Structure 1
Amino acid sequence: MKKQWLMRLLVALGLGSLGAATPAQAASNYYTTNPGIIRVKKTVAYYKDAAKTKHDSTVKVGHYAKISKVVTVKGHAPVLKTNTGKYVTANKAFVAKTSGYQNPKAYYQVNYTQIKPYGKVGYTVKRNYEGIKTWKIMRRLGTANGYNKYNQATYNAVRNFQKNHHLKVTGNVNEKTWVKLGFSKSSWTSIDAYVAPLGAHAWNGRTEHINAMIKQAYQYKGNPYLVGSSSKPIYGTDCSGLVMQALYAGGINPAPISSIHHAYPGNEWNSRNLWASKKFKHVAYSNRQRGDLVFYYQPGTHVIWHVAIYLGGNKVIESWPPRIMVQPIKNGQRSNVAGIARVFN
């Protein structure tokens, strides 16, 4: 009797089997067709075999998994085979069918199809524009001054270049002038169009999405701080440009804030626009967690002027002159924290 009672308890917990379930029980209590993606409702065990004789690990509430098929071994209740080859109970009391990990509706929704560029791909570069195109143009024309903003000197240099090469004289760089400057035609659009690839799937949970975001940010580590820039990891960025590409990798699209518009006049301060967004959950500094965004204000003005990604352990990854680097959350250059925004809830 004691053994039977123990077996019934294990079945209730999804950790064992009591024998073959009746057709009615299987239909009502267990998944008999592939649910696609599941979310764990109560702590369950993973097994190495469908008969659940070889324990692999234990997973807690909130865990997600992709299911490849439903398996039924004679004399046992149905189990779900995951895409990792492990098995978990098909008991609906312990696992629930879901479309995948997602933020609450009030916040930015997580994308599971590649995020598209927001803005005009192949935009003409004009006075006061910033970004990678401006940086390249200024270096090519010898007007670089440590701050990649399309200034009057660059405008004049472009006009002279256009005159000398029989191009329409505008002082602006369009595709024809770009190519004549010696840059590839493909780079005219590829610099603008870059959006970091998604680094997590719908069947990955919060931790994996945070890891995807941070992994993307690390690809820029060591690159130079470049104002108004947010493109491929072969280039530098500024603070919000780095954050935007990291967000894209995690599946978050903060449009109309975008990597393309980041190069437009005035958009170098997208840290302020991100801070003002109501689609991030703001939490207390004392509750900061890995993957949160840390916003800083300028001493004296209290205006937002910087954003970084929290790594845990009082460290952040950020783009701050002269380069993209890992730093303490507070240091001698910027220590006035305005607040913390949570990306994944």
Structure 2
Amino acid sequence: MFQKKLLAGVLLATSLVTGMGTVSAHAASDYYTTNPKIIRTKKTVVYYRDAARTHRAQTVKKNHYAKITQLVTVKGHAPALKTNTGKYLTANKAFVAKTAGYQNPQKYYQVHNTQIKPYGKVGYTVKRNYEGIKTWKIMRRLGTANGYNKYNQATYNAVKAFQRRHGLKVTGNVNEKTWVKLGFSKSSFKSIDSYVAPLGAHAWNGRSAHIEAMIHQAYKYLGKPYLVGSSSKPIYGTDCSGLAMQALYAGGIDPAPISAIHHAYPGNEWNSRNLWASKKFQHVAYRNRQRGDLVFYYQPGTHTIWHVAIYLGHNKVIESWPPRIMVQPIKNGQRSDVAGIARVFH
């Protein structure tokens, strides 16, 4: 009799370790009775290939997130949860918890699970000292490109001359009418401004997936030219903070009022400084840097922020630095004065 009780105790302990068990082994109230939609694991849990949970697939650790498509009950077995990947895990509340999804602590930037719409007005008129992709296109079209896409006096004069020749109101500024007359599509006047990287991770994905979504977006720009004040589609280039902002959008972070739309406005090429100054990132010690962190740099000899890159791990970053977007060592001959590290995801 004693041996039977001991064996039963061992079997129950085993079921608790893996999240296995039968209805009789645990009270029905210990299990979800309706689909929790999204769960977070509270401890190490086994994924199975079948609802009866007899064929192991993999083990997932604490704080793993999953989307649940169905609550399944197989006769003689405890309730199971079917994930959107087709695998099954326990519905035992001791192992999994219903959640709204992965999220940062409240004092930091919150992780968005719907498409981000950046702050600002789409379809801005391009004027003197504006930068960005529209300025870059205008200067190339009018022959005033000089390697630095800033709407300078020469471009202003060239626009006025173009407007006179084509019967347009002579302002020196490029509104939608002048833009179209220059030969660009009407739709691009707004689509260049409004581009925002699509979300690459969802509420049922955890921290690692959000970091990888951010880095994956940055890699879409690899090899494209460094273009000051630019933060638009991957077919174009960006500058350093323009790259960081689109990567943040892909990971579900909106650093408003810092915005890809306003990035072309005069002075906004230094959004690296605004990102560094934000109190909604956690600043961590250089020695504690992790993949997905933002790396900020001082201008040599000063304490002025002038650059930001995305840390990849193994002392490498992806960055936009003249002449192009590239992967580089975290410190090199062009910039090595690291101001600090900002953590995006917690």
Residues 1:32 and 2:36 are matched in the alignment: no
The one-letter code of the counterpart of 2:11 is M
Greater CA drift, 161-170 or 10-19: 10-19
For the aligned residue pairs, the C-alpha RMSD in angstroms reads 1.0
What do residues 211-237 of structure 1 show as CA deviations (whole Å, max 9, x unaligned)? 000000000000000000000000000
Q: Is the 8 A contact 2:118 2:254 kept in 1?
A: no
Residues 1:133 and 2:134 are matched in the alignment: yes
Q: 1:269 to 1:132 in 2, by over 3 A?
A: same
Instruction: Report the counterpart of residue 12 of structure 1 in structure 2.
Output: 16
The one-letter code of the counterpart of 2:20 is G
Instruction: Report the counterpart of residue 311 of structure 2 in structure 1.
Output: 310
What do residues 118-145 of structure 1 show as CA deviations (whole Å, max 9, x unaligned)? 2111100000000000000000000000
C-alpha displacement of 1:76: 1.2
Residues 1:288 and 2:289 are matched in the alignment: yes
C-alpha displacement of 1:20: 3.5
Q: Distance in 1 between matches of 2:305 and 2:97?
A: 42
Greater CA drift, 136-145 or 10-19: 10-19
C-alpha displacement of 1:72: 1.1
Tell me the SS of whatever aligns to 1:204. coil
Q: Distance in 1 between matches of 2:125 and 2:44?
A: 56
Tell me the SS of whatever aligns to 1:13. helix
State the TM-score, normalizing by the size of structure 1: 0.97
Q: 1:113 to 1:19 in 2, by over 3 A?
A: closer
C-alpha displacement of 1:13: 2.4
Instruction: Report the counterpart of residue 54 of structure 1 in structure 2.
Output: 55
Q: Is the 8 A contact 1:156 1:171 kept in 2?
A: yes
Q: Distance in 2 between matches of 1:142 and 1:302?
A: 37
What do residues 147-167 of structure 1 show as CA deviations (whole Å, max 9, x unaligned)? 000000000000000001110
Q: Is the 8 A contact 1:21 1:76 kept in 2?
A: no
Alignment identity in percent? 80
Q: 1:19 to 1:98 in 2, by over 3 A?
A: closer
Greater CA drift, 112-121 or 5-14: 5-14
Q: Is the 8 A contact 1:283 1:341 kept in 2?
A: yes
The one-letter code of the counterpart of 2:226 is Y
Q: 1:6 to 1:222 in 2, by over 3 A?
A: same
Greater CA drift, 6-15 or 163-172: 6-15
Q: Is the 8 A contact 2:19 2:92 kept in 1?
A: no
C-alpha displacement of 1:21: 5.6
Instruction: Report the counterpart of residue 321 of structure 1 in structure 2.
Output: 322
Q: Is the 8 A contact 1:89 1:95 kept in 2?
A: yes
C-alpha displacement of 1:19: 5.0
The one-letter code of the counterpart of 2:15 is V
The one-letter code of the counterpart of 1:331 is N
- Structure 2 counterparts to residues 167-178 of structure 1, below 5 A: 167-178=168-179
Q: Distance in 2 between matches of 1:89 and 1:18?
A: 10
Q: 1:334 to 1:92 in 2, by over 3 A?
A: same
Q: Is the 8 A contact 1:317 1:325 kept in 2?
A: yes
C-alpha displacement of 1:14: 4.0
Q: Distance in 1 between matches of 2:328 and 2:16?
A: 49
Q: Is the 8 A contact 1:7 1:18 kept in 2?
A: no
Instruction: Report the counterpart of residue 332 of structure 2 in structure 1.
Output: 331
Instruction: Report the counterpart of residue 185 of structure 2 in structure 1.
Output: 184
Q: Distance in 2 between matches of 1:220 and 1:4?
A: 59
Q: Is the 8 A contact 1:135 1:144 kept in 2?
A: yes
Q: Is the 8 A contact 1:8 1:18 kept in 2?
A: no
State the TM-score, normalizing by the size of structure 2: 0.97
Instruction: Report the counterpart of residue 216 of structure 1 in structure 2.
Output: 217
Q: Is the 8 A contact 2:295 2:338 kept in 1?
A: yes
C-alpha displacement of 1:18: 4.1
The one-letter code of the counterpart of 1:207 is S
C-alpha displacement of 1:12: 2.1
C-alpha displacement of 1:73: 1.1
C-alpha displacement of 1:75: 1.2
What do residues 86-136 of structure 1 show as CA deviations (whole Å, max 9, x unaligned)? 111111011000000000000000011111132111100000000000000
The one-letter code of the counterpart of 2:343 is R
Instruction: Report the counterpart of residue 75 of structure 1 in structure 2.
Output: 76
Greater CA drift, 164-173 or 48-57: 48-57
- Structure 2 counterparts to residues 128-207 of structure 1, below 5 A: 128-207=129-208
Gaps of 5+ in 2: none
Tell me the SS of whatever aligns to 1:176. helix
- Structure 2 counterparts to residues 243-254 of structure 1, below 5 A: 243-254=244-255
Q: Distance in 2 between matches of 1:9 and 1:140?
A: 73
C-alpha displacement of 1:16: 2.5
What do residues 191-222 of structure 1 show as CA deviations (whole Å, max 9, x unaligned)? 00100000001000000000000000000000
Q: Is the 8 A contact 1:318 1:325 kept in 2?
A: yes
The one-letter code of the counterpart of 1:112 is N
Tell me the SS of whatever aligns to 1:81. strand
What do residues 2-58 of structure 1 show as CA deviations (whole Å, max 9, x unaligned)? 432221112222443245467xx21x2000100010000011111111111111111
Tell me the SS of whatever aligns to 2:301. coil
